[in-house]
Amino acid sequence: MRDTNEMEVIFDSCSSNERFARVAVAAFLTQLNPTVEEVSDVKTAVSEAVTNSIIHGYDQEIHKIRIQCRIDQNLFMVVVKDEGKGIEDIAQAMMPMYTTRPELDRSGMGFAFMEAFMDKVEVESALGGGTTVRMEKTIGKGRNLWTTQSL
Amino acid sequence: MRDTNEMEVIFDSCSSNERFARVAVAAFLTQLNPTVEEVSDVKTAVSEAVTNSIIHGYDQEIHKIRIQCRIDQNLFMVVVKDEGKGIEDIAQAMMPMYTTRPELDRSGMGFAFMEAFMDKVEVESALGGGTTVRMEKTIGKGRNLWTTQSL
Amino acid sequence: SGEIKRFLRDDGMIKVSRSLKELSYKLFQAREEMTAALGREPTIEELSLELHVEKEEIVQAMEAGGEVESIYKPIHQ
Ligand SMILES: Nc1ncnc2c1ncn2[C@@H]1O[C@H](COP(=O)(O)OP(=O)(O)O)[C@@H](O)[C@H]1O
Ligand SMILES: Nc1ncnc2c1ncn2[C@@H]1O[C@H](COP(=O)(O)OP(=O)(O)O)[C@@H](O)[C@H]1O
Ligand SMILES: [Mg+2]
Ligand SMILES: [Mg+2]
């Protein structure tokens, strides 16, 4: 296999596409031979970002969400992008338990989950200018260890 | 669910992305609650079109392939697009057993499979201008019939 | 031949959602067995070899697994 590979998926911001987005990203990720747990970590993080775009970015109106994935060796990079209303104070938005939509039963833990399950999370956003969430995760960390153990 | 839904996926034309593309399309199609047979029909057709773009369109160089899917009620539409070398004579290319790459063990049955497994296949292409394959399939045809029979 | 055709037809009527749920149950079992045997999490590739299913299909089945886990859990406990 080549060392790098890229894909991009663009879809309507309806909640029925959340599953589809997760599967598309997970299917692309399988090239790195992850464990079930690594796949679920990435799926959870992507889900949180996509839900945010649907609920907060677009206020549940239907517009486009774009996910870009890139594999470089065993590094997996995923970017979730909307052109929605944007975030005024990113640092505040990323604080655990902070939510602007408590009435929708939001827990304010979306960014906290992304940070817990991925190695790196970066948010770019501006009021009225949409939101871009960039995440990275190295797949197969410590796997050499396993190989050594089983020898 | 809304009656229409759209997605688009763009990926590198390497053969390791073929399976990814099939599953991305299948995951999107799942919304129509298809049978195993319907999904495998669509996957086969998409596979053939993607393989053609990789092998014939791009001569196995790495460029982009674009798949667009649209659901409208129970009609599933999928478009596979490359910007590769194009087809000179489309009618001839679509004839069963016709292949320009017998040395690569091609059977010349790709378009025949697409036509067998989908309700409609349309090809647009020009030498040097890339190739677009548009396919349609109604999902759940005859399902009422079956229900009636089993009563 | 009418009978055979109908048999094939019925077979084709299995909903993909059901077949993915079945696969997700097998996946759940295989993952537990292999984790115990290997002393670590199996990779998707190892699961795909064990279950004779493409890696991409395994992640699709994982997605269908949510309900299955709750259905089958009581049996395991
Ligand atoms: N894509 C986005 N567009 C606009 N605002 C966002 C977006 N993502 C997150 N936010 C803001 O950041 C806050 C925190 O997000 P998150 O941690 O996922 O918690 P929750 O979604 O439960 O509110 C949200 O309440 C919202 O105000
Ligand atoms: N995307 C494409 N770009 C250029 N040529 C194509 C493309 N798809 C099909 N063709 C041409 O049409 C022919 C028939 O295609 P197909 O029926 O799939 O058979 P095969 O792939 O086995 O040759 C190919 O041999 C090729 O010459
Ligand atoms: Mg959230
Ligand atoms: Mg072909």
Ligand 1 pocket mutation pick from A52, A85, A95 by most atoms within 8 angstroms of CB: A52
Identity at A37, one-letter amino acid code? E
Q: How far apart are CA B99 and CA B95, in angstroms?
A: 9
- Token readout for B86 is 């194009």
The answer to whether B6 is a known catalytic residue is no
Write the residue in B7, B19, B23 that is nearest to A10 by C-beta. B7
Q: Which of B87, B95, B133 is the best mutation target for the ligand 2 pocket, counting ligand atoms within 8 Å of the beta carbon and taking the most?
A: B87
CA C41 to chain centre: 17
- Is the CB of B85 within 6 Å of ligand 2? yes
pLDDT digits (tens, 9 = 90+) for A9-51: 999 999 989 999 999 999 999 999 999 999 999 999 999 999 9
* pLDDT 10s digits, C25-59: 999 999 999 999 999 999 999 999 999 999 999 99
What would the DSSP string read from start to end of chain A?
Answer: --SEEEEEEEEE--TTHHHHHHHHHHHHHGGG--BHHHHHHHHHHHHHHHHHIIIIISTT---EEEEEEEEETTEEEEEEEE-SS--S-HHHHTSTT--S-GGGT--S-HHHHHHHHSSEEEEEE-TTS-EEEEEEEETTTTHHHHHHHH-
In the structure encoding, which two tokens stand for residue A39, read together?
């796949």
Q: What is the pLDDT of residue B143?
A: 60
Q: What is the pLDDT of residue B141?
A: 84
C76 pLDDT higher than 60 = no
Q: Quick count: other Cβ atoms within 10 Å of Cβ B43? A: 18
Q: Is A99 in the pocket of ligand 1 (CB under 6 A)?
A: yes
**ipTM of the complex as predicted:** 0.87
Segment among B61-75, B86-100, B135-149 with least mean pLDDT: B135-149
DSSP label at residue C43: B
Could you give all domains of chain A from N- to C-terminal order, each with its CATH number? 4-150 (3.30.565.10)
What global pTM score does this model have? 0.90
CB contact under 8 A, C56 and B23: yes
**C13 CB-contact burial (10 Å; exposed 0-12 / middle 13-18 / buried 19+):** middle
Active site (annotated) includes residue B74: no
Strand ranges of the sheet holding A64-72, from the earlier edge strand across to the other edge:
A120-125, A131-138, A75-82, A64-72, A4-12, B4-12, B64-72, B75-82, B131-138, B120-125
Which atom belonging to ligand 1 lies closest to the Cα atom of A95? 17
Is the dihedral angle over the CA atoms A30, A31, A33, A38 positive or is it negative? negative
> What is residue B144's predicted lDDT score, i.e. its pLDDT?
54
Tokens found for residue B91: 């009618």
Chain C residues in contact with B30 (beta carbon < 8 A)? 16-17
Q: Is the CB of B111 under 6 A from ligand 2?
A: yes
CA of A63 to the centre of ligand 3 (A): 18
Q: How close, in Å, is residue B6 to chain A by CA atoms?
A: 6
User: A108: closest CA among A121, A117, A97, A95?
Assistant: A97
Nearest-by-Cβ selection for B7 from A2, A9, A31? A9
**Active-site residue, from B66, B106, B124, B134:** B106
pLDDT number for residue C65? 72
From CA C52, how far away is CA C58, in angstroms rounded? 10
Q: In this predicted model, which residue has the larger pLDDT, C9 or C76? A: C9
Instruction: Answer for the pair B9, B66: CB distance below 8 angstroms, yes or no.
Output: yes
> Would you call B95 helix, strand, or coil by DSSP?
coil
